[in-house]
Every structure is written in C-alpha cells, then in structure tokens.
Structure 1
C-alpha cells in the first residue's frame, strides 16, 4: 500500500489529520515526522509515495526538506502546506506549477483530493522535483532569510536572501545581478540551503521577478545564437538541435488521463517541405505533447496529430495574427508565443514562426515556456516558399 509522509511540528494538527485519514485506510497509509530531520529518517527507512510538508519547522524546515527531496528523491510528489493567505500569493504559487500546495487552515476534502491525485501518478498533473525558479519564488513569498548554494554540473553559484529579498549573488567570476541572471538560467540543479544570511547590503536592486525573466531572455538569446552558427542547419533532424540541456521537461510525465496520449495519426500525405517534416518528427518525440496543429499564416492546415480539430487551427491562427498586429502597433518585438489554460487543466501553447504557426496541447504538468524556448530557434528556420 502506498504511504504518505506528513511533516509538521504541530502534534495536535498531525493527530487531527491521522484521525481524518482513517476513512481512507484502504487507499493509503500515513507516517509522520515532526521536522525535516525526522522526515529524512523516514525517507531512508520506509518506502514513501508522497510527502505533505509544512514550511515553518524547527531544526530542518520545509524549505530545506523540499530542496533535499528535489535533489535526492525527485520521483516523490510534494504537497506544500502554506499559510500565505492572500490571493496574489496563491496565484503566484499556482503559477509555479512544479509542486502542489494547500493553504492552512486545511480544507480536508481538497487535501484528500490532492493526495489521491498525487498517488495516482504524474499523469494526474503532478511534477516531481522542484525547479530553481519555483524554489526562489517560494523563498520570496515566505520572506525567508537564507543562503543558497546551487550546483549545476561543474557550475556553482551562491544566492543570499534576507526577508525574501535577493540581496546578492556570486557565480564563477560574476557578482550581483549578472551572477543572478546566470544562475536562474541553469537547469537540473542541486540546491543546498543555509538558514543564515551573512550579507546585509543590498547589491541587487532588481526584483526577483525581473531577475527570472531577464535570465530566461538572455538564455533564449544565447540559444538562438547557437542555432545560427555555420553547419547547424544540417542537424535539424537531430534532437540535439533543440538544446535539450536547456529544456526543463519531465520526460517521464505522461499527459492527463482526461486526454490520453495516443500515437499521432498518419497524415494523408507527408509535408513536402523537408525541414517541416523533420520538425514534425521532433515533436513526436516529446511525450508531453498531447496533440499538435501546424498551419500556414493564411490558416491552411499543414499537419495535425492527436485530438485537435480545425477550430484549434483557426484559433491559433487568430492568436498569432492578433499578436503580430499588436506588436506592430506598439513597435515591439516579443517572444512570439502564447499560453492558454484549458478546461481540463491542460495547456495550449501557440508558437509563431516566420511562415508557420504551431499549436501544441500539452499536459498540465508540462513547462510550456521551456518548450517554446527550445523550439523557437528551430521553428524560425522553417520556410514554406522556395
């Protein structure tokens, strides 16, 4: 039977949950821990299927535990209990997407629903492990003071937080904002947390939100520059051309059970454009993509796979044309993609290339922004005219 580990230093709260969960003894069992250190012992000695943790605890708090889980038990879903209590904070946490959260005081029915979905597996919308950007936003929301040491392969960086504000950062030969921009672009990181912050001077004036966006923008530009180097054009049929190192995807995550992943149906005729054909082959390699539509900018459907009809093609064309007109009107050049959350919590990602428009339906657990970042340089190479 699957086992849920509940981590909280409030004994009366734990006993209340245990009593409530007796009605679900046939579905999962419960074990408890009073703080992160006890939780680590439980993780070593027992087979844990899901962790439900508070943030504020003695000895090892929830932040340290989440960081440890992300690095050492990345296959275990995590539910974080928060006491933030404001709509803005709830929206920010919801947008993180990398773990589930529930607000105190606990809505027991909602908690049971989240636990059952988590135990059912990643196809129910959970992503295991926590991305660096999500973890940093959680520190900001909880006004946490700490020092983070972040490793990504041979790279190492340090970030200093006081009361949720990012004061300073160092990485290799970089300091301050420049170091922070570099660190937030790293993927597959390991996070170490020290609950002390020796820094008192605020050497970073930009907000954390700006740091995250600017770091992503710089990484995006770097990726685009790499794809334009001589000799890269011949590699379009290879997944390496999608900069897989930089895609923050959980490739083991299947799409939502409400929209089962099926093999893309055979097309009436293969696209005559060889680059487009190779691009379609790349898309089929990603299990997060439930279905896709590729259209020319005049609305002509070039390729469809999965359960997407002409209405989706029409909508993606409308979105692309509207975005282009807005950019022309304001004299800006944006990222050229849009994300829409659908009724079943899946997402529709609309990507705009030079000659084609791509609509991708992805599972609720996927990272559409990183998919867009990885695909855009390749998409820009597709030309329909000779």
Structure 2
C-alpha cells in the first residue's frame, strides 16, 4: 500500500520505531538513522548476558528497514540528515522537541525545503505545555501519568508496571494512523503537515470509556476484586483443571438462565437472590461463590462446549505461550515469519503488524538491518559520489557497520 514512499526514521527505543515497522510492513522504504553507538535496543539481550544472532525485541520494531549511522552532534551530520529529509515523504522522530529545534531539525526547520513532508513527532507528553521537553517512557508517560495504572490496579492492591513496551506499541499504532491520514492529505493538496503523537494522549484515548465517565460525572468506580463486581456474572472463573475462563454477560437478563444451565444449576434460574441484575449486585459474593463452585466441577473442554452450546460469549484466559499456538491467532494472521539477520534463509516467528489487508503483501519485507548496514547505499541514493561517501566514512560523520553484530 505504501510502496514508493520514503520514511526517514530518526528515532530509538520502541514507540517511534514500532510505527516505522508498521509502515515498513505496509511497503514504505524506511531508513533508520542511528547514532554512532546504535539504537540502545540493539543491546536489549546483551545487557542481561544473552548473546544471540537475532534480537526478537529489536527485530520486531525494525524489520525490513535500512540503517544508516550518522553523528548528528556534528554540523555535517545534521546537514546530511536535513538532506535526507528533503528526499522523504515522512520524517518520524522521538527526539525531544527542544533538541530538534536547536538543531534546525524540527518541523519548521525542515518544511521549507520539503513542503510535502509529513513530519511525525512522537513524544512522552506532546509538543506543548510545561512537560513537553521531558523524557517519556511508556511506564511513566502512558501507564502512570495518564491514570491507566491507578485505574487498572484492583482496589487495595499496590501499583505494578505495564508489560514491556505495552504503551509504546499502542502509541505506534496511533502514530502510524496519523501519518497515513496526513499522507492522504499531502497527496490531495501537495502540502505536508506536523503529526503529533504522544504516549500520554494515546493512553487517555485507550482508556477513553473510563476517562469519558470521569470527565462527565467527575468520578469513576475502582477496579474491583472478583467477588465485588458490579456485574458478578461478567467475571473470571476457574475450571477443575486449573484453567481460567473469561465470561462476558450481555446487557439485561438474557444470560443468567443460560449460565445456570452451563453449570447444571437450573434451580437458580428463578432464585430471587440472583434472577435480576440488581439482586445479583446486592448478592455479588454469594453469586460468585455459586458460579465458582459450578465452573469448578467442569474441565475447560467441558465448560467450553457448554458455553458454546448456550451461546455465552467467553474466552480462555491464555498465557502468551498458549496464544502463540492458538489456531485462531494463526488464522487471524497474528504471527508472521521474519527473515533472520544471519542471511542463511532461515526465519523466526514474530508478532504481525496490527491490521491485515487480505490479498496484499502486508508482512515483513526483510530482516532488521545490522548497524549502519545501508549507510553507503543511502548516501549514494542522495547522489553523493564515491569520494564523498569515503570522506564521510573516514571522518566518522557516517559509520558503515555492516560487518558489526547487532
């Protein structure tokens, strides 16, 4: 879908590179501009003492890209980055706004030379306000600052961290969507625009239903333990073989009788403690205890068959190990094969990008690049002579790390 578009990705870590990975899967040429030491996520596993050829965390966010290493602390390096931006359809960065402005690499500094440029700034807190130039990481900007962490913690429990890059990759999706919208406009008008994505704002949208309640009513109910649920039949129950199930109750009273039939307790269908939503809420503890007992007598396989028979919406509460082998995950295209950086034709499994385009080549376009692997190729694409390329490499403004390991 994006074939023929050039993206310059001046970014490290996960959120912005994740957006670049989506655009790469969808066909864009994504040139990753790395600092002399490389993207820190290249060292993700070395930091914990694991030495492997492929780095699944780095590779997930950087597959199919080209890598050029530029020292942008130098005048010549910044000039080279501006030259790259002049050839681009998209400039994607997570560098803090203040540093970009001082270097002339902000949107205002680049748009005059390339009016059609779509410039995406991905930050922790946005481009305005007192914290605009603060460093942003998802556990702080997305998870903690937004209220998501506090809203997620069950009542009486202590805070806990989000999983690795959970907020980053949610923001990657938002940034990729914003970039594509701006590309549509640029194609129609010939003018680019600034696209502003932030971990904070994406988190607020992700929690939008709860945030809407908070904004409208000025208050929000806490996340409750299983026995304290407002709708106790919309809950989690464990089977006799230690599998948890998620039961989803529809609005109204339509699901109580079928659930009673699932657990073999038809005698409870007209029980006044449970046969109305208000009564179930008032007797939540007793209701959950009854359902725990009923589901606790069924195996997962037995419960699944009965829930399907009675048209109850449900799902197994799976581990990622189970999800990785789930036939529906595979049928939905949730896992793709990524070429190994070893260059031996081997592949390994990796998460797919978030949207499928049936009939299109919407998967990985190649392995993640080695550090500086494409430096010479990218310089030559700018029309630089072999002598210019040699001079830039000799001076250290550009690094050619094609033979370095990730």
From the CA coordinates, give the structure whose radius of gyration is larger.
2
Query: Normalization by structure 1: what TM-score?
Result: 0.25
Query: Which structure would you say has the larger RCO, counting Cα contacts within 8 Å and 6 or more residues apart?
Result: 2
